[in-house]
């Protein structure tokens, strides 16, 4: 936990290596989802699989996250992030490498993805966000933004790296080296630099005899019962769900939408990349703003701005210039949604049960991610146009922003921690702590 009164500069001086480790760790978790498309042609040529069969693995991962994220969140609260992330990185590395054993059996393919989905839960966004949020306070928004920017690292590196490995060494070697190589870098950094508030408090707590206390520290924040009844957390969850449905749908369907608007395939590919760059900028700028201004206004305004992008993509008004503007705006806004959700969850829910609370948020995120592309496709199949979807995007973005705007001021959990700490220290000094 951050020492009382530590400035943003002091936090970064002490914790920049932690953010580096968390960012690379999250990039490794993003690897398979981002790299799946690169492997479609070679797998299709060798085994005759269609695109639906190959992409089914991503659906398996989403369903697994939907069901089990709260459970892994509870483990974070109990054990801390290191005890999950270190073995999780090892197992995930092996799981990715094991795709090199694919033999053409769909049963085996589903089994490989199921194993990967289970072990990779230990290295998903909840783990890395919990680590950073428990150590940073004055600069928490920016720290979370840089951490979640790990997915942008994967977006930039994974496709060309995977393509080069496939071209020169084959798809089996590509799976193996992406898993072992990328996973090893993440593992080394996490082994050296990964810690969280649990670890720091464990280091500081001793019994009268000098023995370390091996129980989870008492962090401040809402109880689970309080969290379920908390209006602010429900507003955050609803807002995030709506934005996940809309923005993930747009990202998946953006290429055909742009081509339908008269953009060439080459320019459509460029615009798709542009949204990724805008997302990186969005994470950094929004993180900086969250640390300095009222977060409900920053978060609400950022999410509501997506309505402008959906409007600019409407047939009657869109022009090539406005389409570029729209893709920049949607990239900026959509790139911040997880960051805003994570940051606001730490502020309004505290760190006492952050893993459980954000684990539930992660299930909602997974549900929205899975529904969005399907709903976007259904709308197009029903109406022969994306116009109804774009109209829904305008309304949904404004609703999402309004829900965040309406949040009141968040509790200052750090002040509560400072009042609790002396009491705990006195109790341990008397030797009555559980060992």
pLDDT in tens, 99-147: 999 998 989 998 999 999 899 988 988 888 888 888 888 888 889 888 9
What 8-state DSSP symbol labels residue 314? S
Lowest mean pLDDT among 132-136, 233-237, 368-372, 397-401: 368-372
Mean pLDDT of 53-64: 76
For residue 402, what pLDDT band results from cuts at 50, 70 and 90? very high
> How crowded is residue 136: how many other Cβ atoms within 10 Å of its Cβ?
25
What pLDDT does 224 receive?
84
Tell whether the model's pLDDT for residue 62 goes beyond 60.
Answer: yes
pLDDT at residue 155, as a whole number: 73
Looking at the chain, the whole-number percentage of residues with pLDDT higher than 90 is 30
What mean pLDDT do residues 163-189 have? 93
The pLDDT-based confidence of 236 (bands split at 50, 70, 90) is very high
HSE of 156 in the Cβ direction (CA atoms, 13 Å)? 13
Query: How far, in Å, CA of 192 to CA of 13, rounded?
Result: 16
pLDDT at 32: 83
Domains of the chain, by residue range, sit at 8-202, 224-411
Token readout for 314 is 């409407």
Instruction: Note the maximum CA span of the chain.
Output: 76
Between CA 317 and CA 322 the distance in angstroms is 8
End-to-end alpha carbon distance in the chain:
22
- pTM value is 0.73
In CATH, 8-202 is 1.20.58.710? no
3-state helix, strand, coil in the chain (%, to 5): 80, 0, 20
Cα 32 from Cα 117, distance rounded (Å): 10
Give the H or E element holding residue 141: helix 140-148
Compute the distance between CA of residue 345 and CA of residue 359 in angstroms, rounded to an integer.
11
In Å, what is the CA distance from 200 to each residue of 82, 126, 216, 218?
Answer: 12, 19, 11, 12
DSSP class of residue 237?
A: H
Identify the pLDDT of residue 418: 53
What confidence score (pLDDT) does residue 335 get? 81
Is the pLDDT higher at 315 or at 310?
Answer: 310
Of the segments 200-209, 245-254, 259-268, which one has the largest average pLDDT value? 245-254
pLDDT given for residue 200 in this prediction: 57
**Domain 224-411, CATH:** 1.20.1250.20
Q: What is the pLDDT of residue 3?
A: 41
pLDDT tens per residue, range 256-314: 777 777 777 667 767 766 777 888 888 889 999 998 889 999 999 999 999 999 999 88
pLDDT tens per residue, range 348-368: 998 888 888 888 888 888 888
Output the six-digit token pair for 267. Answer: 């320019």
What contacts 90, CB < 8 A, 6 or more positions away? 183, 187
Q: What is the mean pLDDT of the chain?
A: 82
Is residue 167 pLDDT above 70, yes or no?
A: yes
pLDDT at 116: 92
What pLDDT, on a 0 to 100 scale, did the predictor assign at position 2? 40
Q: Please determine, for residue 47, whether its predicted confidence score (pLDDT) is greater than 70.
A: yes
d(CA 433, CA 213): 8
Say what the pLDDT of residue 19 is: 92
């Amino acid at each position: 936990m951050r020492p009382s009164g530590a400035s943003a500069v002091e936090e970064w001086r002490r914790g920049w290596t932690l953010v580096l480790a968390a960012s690379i760790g999250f990039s490794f978790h993003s690897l398979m989802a981002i790299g799946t498309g690169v492997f479609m042609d070679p797998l299709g040529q060798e085994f005759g699989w269609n695109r639906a069969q190959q992409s089914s693995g991503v659906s398996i991962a989403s369903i697994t996250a939907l069901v089990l994220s709260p459970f892994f969140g509870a483990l974070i609260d109990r054990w801390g992030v290191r005890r999950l992330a270190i073995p999780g990185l090892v197992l995930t590395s092996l799981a990715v490498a094991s795709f090199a054993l694919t033999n053409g059996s769909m049963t085996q393919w589903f089994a490989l993805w199921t194993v990967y989905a289970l072990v990779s839960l230990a290295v998903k966004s909840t783990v890395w966000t919990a680590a950073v949020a428990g150590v940073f306070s004055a600069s928490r928004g920016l720290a979370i933004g840089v951490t979640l920017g790990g997915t942008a690292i994967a977006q930039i590196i994974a496709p060309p790296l995977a393509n080069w490995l496939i071209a020169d060494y084959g798809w089996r070697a590509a799976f193996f080296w992406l898993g072992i190589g990328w996973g090893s870098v993440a593992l080394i950094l996490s082994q050296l630099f990964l810690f969280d508030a649990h670890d720091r408090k464990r280091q500081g707590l001793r019994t009268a005899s000098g023995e370390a206390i091996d129980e989870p520290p008492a962090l401040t924040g809402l109880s689970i019962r309080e969290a379920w009844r908390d209006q602010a957390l429900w507003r955050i969850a609803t807002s995030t769900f709506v934005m996940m449905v809309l923005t993930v749908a747009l990202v998946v369907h953006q290429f055909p939408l742009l081509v339908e608007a008269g953009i060439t395939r080459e320019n459509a590919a460029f615009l798709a990349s542009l949204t990724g760059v805008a997302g990186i900028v969005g994470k950094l700028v929004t993180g900086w703003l969250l640390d300095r201004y009222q977060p409900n206004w920053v978060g609400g305004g950022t999410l509501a701005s997506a309505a402008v992008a959906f409007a600019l993509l409407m047939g009657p008004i869109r022009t090539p210039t406005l389409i570029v503007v729209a893709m920049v705006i949607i990239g900026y806004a959509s790139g911040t949604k997880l960051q805003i959700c994570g940051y606001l969850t730490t502020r309004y829910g505290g760190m006492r049960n952050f893993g459980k609370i954000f684990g539930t948020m992660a299930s909602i995120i997974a549900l929205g991610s899975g529904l969005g592309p399907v709903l976007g496709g259904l709308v197009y199949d029903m109406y022969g146009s994306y116009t109804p979807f774009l109209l829904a995007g305008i309304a949904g973005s404004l609703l999402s922003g309004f829900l965040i705007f309406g949040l009141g001021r968040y509790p200052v959990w750090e002040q509560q921690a400072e009042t609790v700490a002396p009491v705990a220290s006195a109790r341990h000094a008397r030797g009555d702590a559980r060992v």
